[in-house]
Amino acid sequence: MSTKKYVYMFTETDETMKNLCGGKGANLGQMTKLGLPIPQGFTVTTEACTYYYQNGEKLSSDIIEEVKKAMKKLEEITGKEFGNPNNPLLVSVRSGARVSMPGMMDTILNLGLNEEVVAGLASKTGNPRFAYDSYRRFIQMYSDVVMGLSKKRFEEIIDEMKEKRNIKLDIEFTADDFKEMIIKFKNFYKQEMKAEFPTEPKEQLFGAITAVFRSWENPRANYYRKMNGIPASWGTAVNVQSMVYGNMGETSGTGVAFTRNPATGENKLYGEYLINAQGEDVVAGVRTPSQIETLQEVMPSVYKQFVELSQKLEQHFKDMQDIEYTIEDSKLYLLQTRSGKRTAQAALRIAVEMYESGMITKEQALMLVQPQQLDNLLHPQFDTNNLKEVAIVGEGLPASPGAACGKIVFNVKEAIERTQKGEKVVLVRLETSPEDIEGMDVSEGILTARGGMTSHAAVVARGMGKCCVSGCKTLVVKEDEGYILIGDKKFTREDYIALDGTTGNIYGGKVKTVPATISGNFEKFMNWADEVRRLKVRTNADTPRDAKQARAFGAEGIGLCRTEHMFFDPDRIQAMREMIVSDTTEQREKALEKLLPMQRGDFEELFEAMGNFPVTIRYLDPPLHEFLPTSEEDIESIAKELGITAEALTNKVRSLHEFNPMMGHRGCRLAVSYPELAKMQTRAVIEAYINVKKRNPEYTPVPEIMIPLVGEVAELKYVKNIVCETADAILKENNMSVDYKVGTMIEIPRAAVLADEIAKEADFFSFGTNDLTQMTFGFSRDDAGSFLGEYYNKRIYEFDPFAKVDQKGVGKLIKMAATLGRETKSNLKLGVCGEHGGEPSSIEFFNSVGLDYVSCSPYRVPIARLAAAQAVIKSKK
Amino acid sequence: MSTKKYVYMFTETDETMKNLCGGKGANLGQMTKLGLPIPQGFTVTTEACTYYYQNGEKLSSDIIEEVKKAMKKLEEITGKEFGNPNNPLLVSVRSGARVSMPGMMDTILNLGLNEEVVAGLASKTGNPRFAYDSYRRFIQMYSDVVMGLSKKRFEEIIDEMKEKRNIKLDIEFTADDFKEMIIKFKNFYKQEMKAEFPTEPKEQLFGAITAVFRSWENPRANYYRKMNGIPASWGTAVNVQSMVYGNMGETSGTGVAFTRNPATGENKLYGEYLINAQGEDVVAGVRTPSQIETLQEVMPSVYKQFVELSQKLEQHFKDMQDIEYTIEDSKLYLLQTRSGKRTAQAALRIAVEMYESGMITKEQALMLVQPQQLDNLLHPQFDTNNLKEVAIVGEGLPASPGAACGKIVFNVKEAIERTQKGEKVVLVRLETSPEDIEGMDVSEGILTARGGMTSHAAVVARGMGKCCVSGCKTLVVKEDEGYILIGDKKFTREDYIALDGTTGNIYGGKVKTVPATISGNFEKFMNWADEVRRLKVRTNADTPRDAKQARAFGAEGIGLCRTEHMFFDPDRIQAMREMIVSDTTEQREKALEKLLPMQRGDFEELFEAMGNFPVTIRYLDPPLHEFLPTSEEDIESIAKELGITAEALTNKVRSLHEFNPMMGHRGCRLAVSYPELAKMQTRAVIEAYINVKKRNPEYTPVPEIMIPLVGEVAELKYVKNIVCETADAILKENNMSVDYKVGTMIEIPRAAVLADEIAKEADFFSFGTNDLTQMTFGFSRDDAGSFLGEYYNKRIYEFDPFAKVDQKGVGKLIKMAATLGRETKSNLKLGVCGEHGGEPSSIEFFNSVGLDYVSCSPYRVPIARLAAAQAVIKSKK
């Protein structure tokens, strides 16, 4: 017997209990504590969910007993009775994970109804229309969520009835219409399920709780979790809350509001409501709701109360809140509150203004923006000049800011297929639903005909940082015919449209973009991050353009310049190929002589772009066969260029073939075989230094020469000796000196394990987490796609170790190497130049193990700066 | 200034100083201590050699000074003066590493001679022939060894003079002949070197010392070291010893002797000598020497003294000794002693007889045989029946036992080229020289026309465990014409000959072989090893035949059965292919259904072969594309067999293509994707158990199911659950039980690092050191060949980590995994099934980190048993 407690009344919980009760449950408890008008209820914990899965997807008897007891207590609190037609208690059953996953899991409202209870409710409220509306909604939701029946048939029944009755809106249905509808729904249910629709409220309740637990594992929740790095092991809680009714008539309603504008961050209540409706009507975007300001006229006192309460919540939680509420017969109830999803612009503005108003500290402000969100601000914006030349063909609500341009797609499948082919697409839908999440993710932007600023499309798009224009009234979607109309303009699958999510404008063509800059709130905020962080942030850059962009984004040096990228240039690859097909050292040296001035020129530009910041130059890394052609045709023509026979070139290509090129003749192994390569590269680095220094005496470039793929100290020493002999000779000749560094990448497990030895010969370590991850896991990134899918499905891995560093395994090696390295050389500089260097959770890890810097692509530099600051703040807790 | 002492007089050293003074130097010191007749001298240490290399291949001034001082002392001891014509001290300069490397490095005799000194020596000894013979020898050796002039021209000069004088042997030359020869030698020297032959004895001495140090790095020494796992960092010592002269006439001579027969182990003095000769004449095999027994008649008292001294040396060193001696004018001098190289048969007999005579303990006896040597005894021997049918065409000396059969090759180059093509060859030479070592290594056996039992060919062949017949007087080698004659039989490159190294017989054709058995001394000795060792020894075996062979060699179970080898069988591969081309689980299951009875049958046979010993079954490991055809032709025909289109099969082949197959979809990743695979294999294992148990109730097979390529505990758990569910269901059905185990291979670095977690789900770990080495070093075994050569040349790696486990890097992971695993589960069984499981130095390591067993190929089982015993003995020291 378990001694765990699986069910908590709202009166027993508070905001500190998110892990156990989920965000929604914890906040409902906290709001109860704060004395706010909360329909009471209870929470079935996340641990119950985990237990449910461990128990073969069954509710255990102790959980069932606890729920029954909680139900009894709820009956006492509400003075109503579950299943009693004379005084019925109805409940909602809703999911609530540790972190909010809007729309991803299931909700059931009005649970507890059957023929007797609905009749009792009708007579007790004197509002049969309300009662039967509630019942038909319950049947619809229960059939879908608990029993897995398709929603479509229910919607068809409604549409058929509308047609017959010649009405347009649900709201025009009468009580009798709903009664008729209920009969039709139940018939359909019976036909499909070969059983009557369940009438026993307790059966309904446990069915619904089970369904919510089950919905934790539905495909869209899985996708969302993967996208947001939420472990499946967390589970969801279930909240059972007594119903209040927004569908009781013209003095009732339901709505959603944000304490500040989630798109812009403006400090102004922002929301929508629908009169005579239940919650999902607002979110689903079926009716376009009214702006919250208008409530001031419709129900002034309710509006006043809501404004007060929402400010109280924001003050309490010290963050912008997303509040669901219901007005039942002119009485206001809050159904939930949570930190609101917001755009990056809004997040920055809210953080800055809350700090400046004295509501929060700088460190608290820094925690209010998710580093990943910044990505959005860094990508190109529409070129305003070009924008004037492209016609505006329509407009919608500016639901999620950003600039999106692409060809039209109509559904998820199409979006995925076409983006996999490399196309940029805009997803155009009548309205979006939770099933569309993957399609939204891959699209440039989303355009919908229906739905307001709090509709599914808008909320999810803002969460993703994806541009969205919603509720475009002039949009007609003809998916089957393969076109859309915006006003009278027709667009097919091959046409481009462009969306401006900040204005809501829709452009009928392709629009050019310009790079982003950091200014205003963004700049202010990033400066705070810089004050707090300990990790330096460098960039991975191979070109002066990238280097300059990264500097503009605040990079403090280059952490990785991949020299081979310079060799793939069409002007250069021939000299590279000459080098490769050489048979003697002399021939190779001659070919390298041609590459020298080009490489030196590159380094000069990089040094100049980086001023006095360090530039880490990684020596040639890829296997040589990557530079050679593979098709017979190319071999023929390139052999001619090289002045050798096609046969000779074919033989060379063959001789360089490798079974496992990732583990082949590459990295410093090339320099061991061909020391002349390292000599040429050293000459280029040092001569570039000399040239830059002579041209601009105010610059003092800091060259850091990085030897890749080292697995043994003797190997590093061998190459280092070549580097130092070459460099020192050139410097002596020129009567100059420079404190160049020679270090190594730690990307082979053996190097990590023997880091104490390797540190003897290294001025710095840079963790190459891409290769280190591959070799530590023993799978190649190029090939892992074919089986990792099953690993995620089967929960063997929860996330992609190439996206987030695997702290447990790879991280253990990194920590070991850092410790061993510093045991040998306490001032050993440690950095990371794998792609993880720009990923926030990885950055937190790198901060914790004492690295000196991370290096990432230019566009991730601001993200890394913020993540590094947050890592420091979190580490203090 | 260094405070190290680089030079030791023989009077200052003893046998404990081998690391510093080399084996020869230490033993000369010890013999001096024992009061034996040793020409005195001094040793320049191995540290001086290392210093020489660190110092840019120059002798440092402090070493030079120490040598000069030692020379002064030697002059005092001998009462002679270096360079003084009236009373000249001459010396030999010889290499001497920690372990004996016969013939690999350089030696110079008679150093200190010039025109004045040779004249003085002639008049002082009254033996001008001796004096000028010594001088011409010195010029030859010095020119070759120190100056790098080709020996060939010197030999040509000698041959021309013989022709002119119409004589056959060197011994027929007169003093005047030698004087003429000296002039010719010096002229040739001057012509080549553009300088006079050096006359200053000190210059000669330092030239010679430098040359010996240099010879540590010559190609044959490198090859020998690689073959024997001797680190280059050890360096060699140099011994400078005052000369005694075997070439002073008919009462002088020189020879080599073993205290027991190095070929058979017989306890009887065994050796050879030449009258009026210097050392290298015996070893080089130019003249065929006399058996040592005949010395009894020629110089009875010298013989008697030698027998006494040799017994004293064997008693002292407690091992069979290889002694060099010189008789100068009827006086016996010992020039060196060392443990003699011997054949495996001899090693066993000597060890057993020394123990049985009470000379040594069992543990000392166990240390007298090198585990690798046993290999020799395990390989097939000539089938004595077939032997009778093949004609004996000649005979030679049984220089090194064994059975060799192959086609004729004439030189090293040819031997290497043809063996690389997969041919088996016998190297046939007039005589062998140190340059031939690599060719000897790759050949099946060696046949020479010249040389005795202590000739180069014989000594090196015995050291290698290579069959050798030497001194076949009826052999004529016509290399340029491409044939040999043995008697009147002619053999070309395409003809087979067979050598019996135990009898000296040469057979004119191919001879069949039969498997070896363990009996006699071998069996006795192996039983001693079993008494001492702690590690169990299992075998890697996929077939009942291998399993039975391994049992006969003493294996205590199967440590690795690679189930996929069973699928490559032509009868089975089609069902395997059907499985692979399946699109659905049902199709796959159907194909697997066909494989089940075959696999079950294999396991039944293996269980029966192993009785009550454990059988570790590794589940399917290789990527599936290995089972599919690649050529268009094969695809065409196999598609037909499979009943699908060639296009469909081509698509399948393409879809399974991997960039780095070693790090691709293989190992337990297959079972995660296709659980039905693991189910079928489990069914086969458990049903095989049940069938065997029912047939033979006295057998209780111990199935150990091994999940390969695990990198994460959840992955192991997933597959283990499938295994256990399947197994338990079958056992329940059959109302039987078996204590089957489920374990994993540790072959991915992440698994080693997270072994504490993985141990939670594993009954055992088996280290897959092949893959673990690949992934830890980050190089693929298939590809590393293209660059590892340079790594050895440049001393970055000293040995092949696929041959000997890399204790420093890979070993650190193994140790970590063993420790972590046992922290979780103290009774966790630990083994190794990579190829290192049969390599002695690796076995010593595995013993030291506490593994329970090693597993190796059947033919390595006895080697592993002995190595495991030696590991225990060494660990006690």
Whose CA is closest to A107, among A133, A158, A146, A78? A146
Residue B42 and residue B71: Cα distance in Å, rounded? 8
Q: What does chain A come to in residues?
A: 877
pLDDT of residue A286: 65
Please name the member of B663, B777, B796 whose beta carbon is closest to the beta carbon of A778: B663
Considering only CB atoms, which chain B residues are within 8 Å of A797? Answer: 712, 714
C-alpha distance from A206 to closest chain B C-alpha (Å)? 30
Tell me the H-state helices in A108-231.
Answer: 115-125, 128-145, 151-165, 175-193, 201-215, 219-228
% of chain B surpassing 70 pLDDT: 99
Contact between chains at B663 and A663 (C-beta distance less than 8 A): yes
- Find the radius of gyration of the CA atoms of chain B: 32
A657 part of the active site = no
Element (H, E) at A772: helix A769-777
Contact between chains at A753 and B812 (C-beta distance less than 8 A): yes
- One DSSP character per residue, B674-724 reads -HHHHHHHHHHHHHHHHHHHHH-TT---EEEEEE-S--SHHHHHHHHHHHH
Amino acid letter for position A114: N
pLDDT of residue A877: 82
- One DSSP character per residue, B374-392 reads HHHHHS-EE-HHHHHHS-E
pLDDT in tens, B65-105: 999 999 999 999 999 999 999 999 999 999 999 998 877 77
Average pLDDT over residues B607-620: 96
CB crowding A297-332: b at 16 or more within 10 Å, else e: eebeebbebbbebbebbbebbbbbbbbbbbbbeeeb
C-alpha distance from A417 to closest chain B C-alpha (Å)? 18
Flag residues of chain A having pLDDT under 50.
1
Model confidence pTM above 0.90? no
Q: Tally the C-alpha atoms within 13 A of residue A784's C-alpha that lie toward its C-beta.
A: 16
pLDDT of residue A1: 45
Please name the member of A659, A777, A786 whose beta carbon is closest to the beta carbon of B780: A659
pLDDT of residue A285: 61
Q: Tally the C-alpha atoms within 13 A of residue B120's C-alpha that lie toward its C-beta.
A: 17
C-alpha distance from B826 to closest chain A C-alpha (Å)? 22
B844 contact A CB<8A? no
Q: Is B535 helix (H, G, I), strand (E, B) or coil?
A: coil
Amino acid letter for position A245: Y
**B678, B722 contact by CB (below 8 A):** yes
Which sign does the torsion angle of CA B359, B360, B362, B367 carry? negative
Match 């004895």 to its residue by tokens. B201
Residue B797: closest C-alpha in chain A:
A714
- Strands A236-242 and A331-339: what pairing? unpaired
Tell me the H-state helices in A611-674.
Answer: 632-642, 646-655, 668-673
Considering only CB atoms, which chain A residues are within 8 Å of B776? Answer: 711, 748-750, 753, 775
B544 contact A CB<8A? no
**B530, B865 contact by CB (below 8 A):** yes
Q: Which two tokens stand for residue A783?
A: 């090939």
| CA distance to A345, A556, A557, A616, per residue, from A549 (Å) | 21, 12, 12, 17
Element (H, E) at A400: strand A397-400
**A307, A299 contact by CB (below 8 A):** no
Contact between chains at A775 and B778 (C-beta distance less than 8 A): yes
C-alpha distance from B719 to closest chain A C-alpha (Å)? 11
- pLDDT of residue B1 exceeding 50, the answer is no
A565 part of the active site = no
**A702, A613 contact by CB (below 8 A):** yes
Considering only CB atoms, which chain A residues are within 8 Å of B794? Answer: 672, 718
Contact between chains at B672 and A718 (C-beta distance less than 8 A): no
Which residues between 22 and 51 in chain B have a beta carbon less than 8 angstroms from any beta carbon of chain A?
Answer: none
Within its chain, how far is the Cα of B748 from the centroid?
Answer: 30
Residue A712: closest C-alpha in chain B:
B796
- pLDDT of residue B598 exceeding 90, the answer is yes
Q: Which two tokens stand for residue B778?
A: 């980050």
- pLDDT of residue B2 exceeding 70, the answer is no
Tell me the H-state helices in A379-426.
Answer: 384-389, 412-420
Residue A104 and residue A460: Cα distance in Å, rounded? 10
ipTM of the complex: 0.84
- One DSSP character per residue, B55-115 reads TTS---HHHHHHHHHHHHHHHHHHT-BTT-TTSB--EEEEEEESS--TTTS-EEEEET--H
Mean pLDDT, chain B, whole residue set: 93
Contact between chains at A714 and B659 (C-beta distance less than 8 A): no
- One DSSP character per residue, B537-579 reads EEEE-SSHHHHHHHHHTT--SEEEEEHHHHHTSHHHHHHHHHH
Residue A635 and residue A654: Cα distance in Å, rounded? 12
| CA distance to A160, A185, A247, A568, A676, per residue, from A191 (Å) | 19, 10, 29, 66, 80
B568 contact A CB<8A? no
Which residues between 811 and 840 in chain A have a beta carbon less than 8 angstroms from any beta carbon of chain B?
Answer: 812-813
Count Cβ atoms within 10 A of the Cβ of residue A284 and give its class: 0-12 exposed, 13-18 middle, 19 or more buried. Answer: middle
Please name the member of A662, A673, A810 whose beta carbon is closest to the beta carbon of B787: A673
Considering only CB atoms, which chain B residues are within 8 Å of A673? Answer: 787, 790
